[in-house]
Amino acid sequence: MKKMRISSGGPFEDKIGYSRAVVCEGWIFVSGSTGADLDTGVMPESVTEQCRNTLAVIRRALSEVGAGFEDVVRVTYVLPDRADFEPCWPHLREAFAEARPAAMMIEAGLLDPAMKIEIEVTAKQP
């Protein structure tokens, strides 16, 4: 079983010991991703800006193996405050409307109190 590991260069990947994504037997498992800006590393204050940035991190990981949001079959959302979920819906609908993956939202604390959303996906390579 051959595995391909994808790194985004984020600081927690080395600190914790994980990959942004792992591809195995045609499946793409993208780790929980949060909303720091890809270029500056700055975490925006707004949950909607964090959501957009999080989707960009996931998009980049998927694109490295020729996949996109349309290939996502499962998505999990984690938010410390469930009231922040609905403001993200337009961005999530834009990303996942074609795929319509199985989904789950969990209310839980995240690694850093500044983080307002974390998204994890599983996709099938096209």
Does the pLDDT of residue 21 top 80, yes or no? yes
- What pTM was estimated for this model as a whole? 0.93
Question: What is the per-residue pLDDT across 51-93, written as a single tens digit (0 to 9) for each?
Answer: 999 999 999 999 999 999 999 999 999 999 999 999 999 999 9
Domains and CATH numbers, the chain: 3-124 (3.30.1330.40)
- Cα 21 to its chain centre, rounded Å, is 10
Query: What was the pLDDT predicted at 115?
Result: 97
Best CA proximity match to 22, nearest among 126, 97, 100, 122:
122
Please enumerate, as own/partner, the contacts of 47-50 that have beta carbons within 8 Å and a separation of 24 or more.
47/79, 47/84, 47/87, 47/88, 47/116, 47/117, 48/87, 48/88, 48/91, 50/115, 50/116, 50/117
93 versus 19: the higher-pLDDT residue is 93
Place 2 in a pLDDT band, splitting at 50, 70 and 90: confident
